[in-house]
Amino acid sequence: DTAVSQTPKYLVTQMGNDKSIKCEQNLGHDTMYWYKQDSKKFLKIMFSYNNKELIINETVPNRFSPKSPDKAHLNLHINSLELGDSAVYFCASSQGPTTDTQYFGPGTRLTVL
Residues that bind other proteins (CB under 8 A): 4, 31, 40-45, 48, 50, 55-56, 90, 92, 97-98, 100-107
Q: Which is nearer to other proteins, 22 or 97 (CB)?
A: 97
The Cα 107–Cα 109 span in angstroms is 6
Q: Which is nearer to other proteins, 12 or 42 (CB)?
A: 42
CB of 88 to other proteins, least distance (A): 9
CB of 85 to other proteins, least distance (A): 19
Residue closest to 3 by CA, chosen among 61, 72, 51:
72
Q: Which is nearer to other proteins, 55 or 113 (CB)?
A: 55
- CB-based contacts of 41, cutoff 8 Å, min separation 6: none
At position 53, the amino acid (one-letter code) is E
CB of 47 to other proteins, least distance (A): 11
- CB-based contacts of 51, cutoff 8 Å, min separation 6: 30, 31, 71
The Cα 72–Cα 26 span in angstroms is 7
Q: Which is nearer to other proteins, 14 or 101 (CB)?
A: 101
